Chain A
Amino acid sequence: MDDLRKRARELLETSEVKVVIGYEQGTAGKTRALFVEKPEDTDKLIFDSRCVQNLAVYITKREVKDKGKMAIAATLPVMRSIIQLASEFQVNDNNLLVLGITPESKLVEFNSLTEVETFVHQYQIEIDARNKEMLDKLEKMTPSERWKFWTDELAPCFKCYACRAACPMCYCSRCTVDFNQPQWIPVPSHELGNLEWHIMRAIHLTGRCVDCDACYNACPLGIPLNLLTKKMVEEARANFGGYQPAIKGEHLMSTYKPDDKENFIQ
C-alpha cells in the first residue's frame, strides 16, 4: 500500500488533514488502528487482509475528532459506515476525507462523501454463505428451539459492551442500557438482562447496520451476536427493498429531527 502511505504523507505535509486513521502492525500478529499526525510516521501504515477492524468507529470519538480534519483509510464496510454516519449528521466533507480501499485492495480517492456514496452503491451488502446457512437453520427452528439457542448462546455474555464499543453506529453518548431512571434494560448479565440488551441493540441497528461484523469480532467470548443484526439486514431487505446507506436516504426504523430539544440526540 505504497499509494496509501504516499497520499497520507502529502495530506499531512500540506496540512490538508490533521490526522490520518489507518492500520499498523499490532502485537501477536494482529493489526490495529493507527492515528498518524506526522508525515514521517506514515511509513507505519499497512494494509492487508488482516485489517478488518471497522475504523469508522474512531471518527465519532472525541479525542480523535478534536485533532481537526481527519482522513481515513476505508474499506467497503468502513465506507458504508461513513455514509450512514453522514446521513445521521455525524460526519461531513468538512471534517472527513475518505481514502478508499477497493475490494481489490486498490486506493481510490474521493473528493466528497457523495462520491463515496456512489462508489458504495455499486456493491450490495451480501451475507456470507456460512452465516446465511445459520440464519436459515434458525428460521426453520420452532420458537422454543430458537429460544433455547439464544438463551444458551447469550448465557456467557458478561456485558462488557465490546460489541457496542466496536460498532461505528453505537456512538450515543448515553446508551439505552445505561439509563437508570427509568431503567429500560436490566443491568445484570442474567438471562433476561442479556436477552433484552442484545435484542435492543439489534433493533436500534436495523436499517443502519452495514454488516461489517465488528461486534462479533470484538466479542471476547465469541458470541455469534452478529446473527441478530444479519437477520435484521435480511428483514430490512425483504421488507424495504435493496437496503443501502444513503446520505439523504430515508431512515428505515428511526425518525428524528436534528434540532430535537432532547439532548441525548446529538
Chain B
Amino acid sequence: MNIDKRLVSKDSLEKLFDILKQNSKTIYAPATKNGKVSFSEADSFSGIATDYIQTTQSSKDVDFPRTEKILDYTRNENGMSVKGIDLNDIPEIVLWGVRPCDAMGIGELSAIFNWDYKDEIYNNRLSRVTVFGFSCSKSDEYCFCTSVGGNPGNTTGSDILFTQLGEDGDYLAEVLTDKGSAVVSLASGLFEAATDIEKGKYLADVPVRFNREEISKKLEKSFESGLWIDQSLRCLGCGACAYVCPTCACFDIQDEAHGKSGSRVRCWDSCGFSLFTLHTSGHNPREVQSQRWRQRIMHKFSYMPDRLSVYGCTGCGRCSRACPADMNILEHLISIQEAVV
C-alpha cells in the first residue's frame, strides 16, 4: 500500500491547530503540570509540551476515561427507570502528540473492549477520535517498543503520523486513514506533496531487549515459579502502573446514589490492589502481592496473546517510570526470559 506522504512546514503546525479549532474540534495534547507531562484539553498551540520522551499518563483517558457515567437511574412507583447516556454527546476529538507506542495501545485496548461484548461507549468514543501520532526522535532507558512489535516511527494506530525531520525541522506527515484524510481536506494548503522523504534517520534508536514470543512460551510453565515472589517483594501494591498503562483496561462499576436517583459509573481499577479479587465470601484467590504481580505479567504476555492475539504491552515504559518502588518491567521481563523454568 502506498502511504500518502505530505510535508508540513514547522510553522504550519500552529495553523493546523487553529483550523481544527475553527472547525469545532476538541484537541487533547500534552501539557506540563507539576513537572509532569500529561494529555489535557489544549486551548492554545503554545501550551502544547514538546520536550518530553513520553507523557506520564497514556492517552487512554480520552477513549476510556478514568471515570465515566454509563447510565442514570430513577426509582419510581413502577420500579426503576434507566436511561443510558446519549452517545451523540460524545465529542469529536483530535488527540495531538501521541507517541507511536500509545497509538499502538489503542488497538490492544480495542481488542479487550470488543472481546465478546462490543463495548458501544468505548467504540463510539474511539470512532470520534482522530489520532495525530508524533514519532520519537529521543528515547530513554525505560523504552522498549522494538521488543514488543513497535518502533519509534510505527504508524499503527495513528490517523496521521508526524515525524519531525531533524531538530527544528519541518514534519513528514503520513496520512494513514480516512480520518487522517478528512483532516488534510480541512487544511489542504498546509499539506504539501512529499513522496520521497525517508523518516528512518530521524528516529530514536531503541535496541531490541527481549523476544516476547519466547517470554510468552516461558510463562506457560512459570505459574508456580518462585520468581514472582522475588520480583514483587518491593512492590507496594498501588495502581500507578495500571493507571499510566495504555493497555490496562480493568474497571469497577460504582453507583453514585442521591436519594431515589443516581448514576452508574465505571472507574479504572487495577489488578495490583489487594481487594481487586476479594470475593464476597471473604476468600481472595490472589491474597499476596506476588500473585497480583504474576497476574499483571501473565495477562499482558500470556493470556492476551492467547485469547486476543495481541500483547498487552507496547513498550512505552510508563509503568517503570511511574513506579514508586522501581518495579521496572523491562528488567523483570529480561529476567523472566533468562530464568530457568
B-binding residues in A (CB < 8 A): 26-28, 30-35, 53, 57-58, 61-64, 153, 156, 158-162, 164-166, 173-174, 178, 180, 186-190, 193, 214, 217-218, 220-224
Q: Which listed residue (B36, B240, B320, B326) contacts A160, Cβ 8 A?
A: B240
- Kindly provide the distance from the CB of B211 to the nearest chain A CB, expressed in whole angstroms: 20
Q: Does B121 contact A (CB under 8 A)?
A: no
B59: shortest Cβ distance to chain A, in Å?
Answer: 14
Q: Report whether B240 and A220 are in contact in the complex, using a CB–CB cutoff of 8 Å.
A: yes
Find out whether the CB atom of A156 lies under 8 angstroms from the CB atom of B38. yes
Q: Determine whether the beta carbon of A223 is less than 8 Å from that of B265.
A: no
- Do residues B33 and A27 form an inter-chain contact, with CB atoms below 8 A? no
Task: Check A162 against B236 for contact (C-beta < 8 Å).
Answer: yes
- Once the chains bind, are A63 and B288 in contact (CB under 8 Å)? yes
Contact A165-B238, Cβ < 8 Å, known A187-B254, A189-B67: yes
Residues in B with CB closer than 8 Å to A27 are 141-142, 320, 326, 328, 330-331
Docked CA distance A188–B67 (Å): 6
Contact-residue bracket for chain B: 35 or more
Cα of A48 to Cα of B340 in the assembled complex, Å = 34
**Set of chain B residues within 8 Å of A217, measured between Cβ atoms:** 324
**Distance of A188 Cα from B274 Cα, bound (Å):** 18
Contact with A along B175-216 (1 / 0, CB 8 A): 000000000000000000000000000000000000000000
Instruction: Find out whether the CB atom of B324 lies under 8 angstroms from the CB atom of A188.
Output: no
A173 to B243 alpha-carbon distance, docked (Å): 22
Query: How many inter-chain contacts with C-beta < 8 Å in the A-B complex?
Result: 120
- CB-CB contacts of B268-290 with A at 8 A, as 1s and 0s? 10100111000000000000111
Report B20-42 CB contacts with A as 1/0, cut-off 8 Å. Answer: 00000000000001111010000
Is B66 interfacial (CB-CB < 8 Å)? yes
Minimum CB distance partner of A220 in chain B: B322
Interchain nearest-CB distance for A55 vs B (Å): 10
Q: Which residues from A are CB-within-8-Å of B274?
A: 173
Indicate whether B244 reaches chain A with its CB closer than 8 angstroms.
yes
22 A–B pairs (Cβ distance < 8 Å), ordered by A: A26-B326, A27-B326, A28-B140, A34-B234, A35-B234, A53-B325, A63-B232, A64-B233, A156-B33, A156-B34, A159-B66, A161-B238, A161-B273, A162-B238, A162-B240, A166-B324, A187-B252, A187-B254, A188-B265, A189-B66, A220-B36, A220-B322
Asked whether A221 lies within 8 Å of B256 as measured between CB atoms, the reply is: no
Shortest beta-carbon distance, B290 to chain A, in Å? 7
Given that A161-B239, A164-B238, A166-B238 are known contacts, is A222 also in contact with B34, CB under 8 Å in the complex? yes
Q: Which residues of B contact A33 (CB under 8 A)?
A: 233-234, 325
CA distance A174 to B273 in the complex (A): 11
Apart from the given pairs A63-B233, A189-B67, A220-B324, 17 other A-B contacts in the complex at a CB distance below 8 Å: A26-B326, A31-B326, A33-B234, A33-B325, A34-B234, A63-B229, A156-B38, A158-B268, A159-B239, A161-B238, A164-B238, A166-B238, A173-B274, A174-B275, A189-B267, A220-B322, A224-B34
From 82 to 141 in chain B, residues with beta carbon under 8 angstroms from any chain A beta carbon are 140-141
CA distance A53 to B327 in the complex (A): 13
Asked if residues B267 and A218 are in contact (CB atoms below 8 Å), the reply is no
Residues of B within 8 A of A31 (CB): 326
- Neighbouring B residues of A186 by C-beta, 8 Å: 254, 256
**Are A162 and B324 CB-contacts (below 8 A) given A178-B275, A188-B265?**
yes
CA distance A149 to B7 in the complex (A): 43
Query: Is B237 on the interface with A (CB-CB < 8 A)?
Result: yes
B242 interface residue per 8 A CB criterion? yes
A223-B34 Cα distance, complex, nearest whole Å? 7
CA of A214 to CA of B36, assembled, Å: 18
Whether A160 contacts B238 in the complex (CB less than 8 A), given A32-B326, A187-B254, comes out as: yes
Asked if B247 lies at the interface with its beta carbon under 8 angstroms from chain A, I say no
Min distance, Cβ B126 to any Cβ of chain A, angstroms? 20
Kindly list chain B residues whose C-beta atoms are within 8 Å of the C-beta of A223: 34
6 shortest interchain CB distances as A-B pairs = A218-B324, A222-B34, A165-B238, A32-B326, A220-B322, A165-B236
Q: Contacts A27-B141, A27-B326, A156-B38: A57 and B236 contacting too (C-beta < 8 A)?
A: yes
* Min distance, Cβ A66 to any Cβ of chain B, angstroms: 9
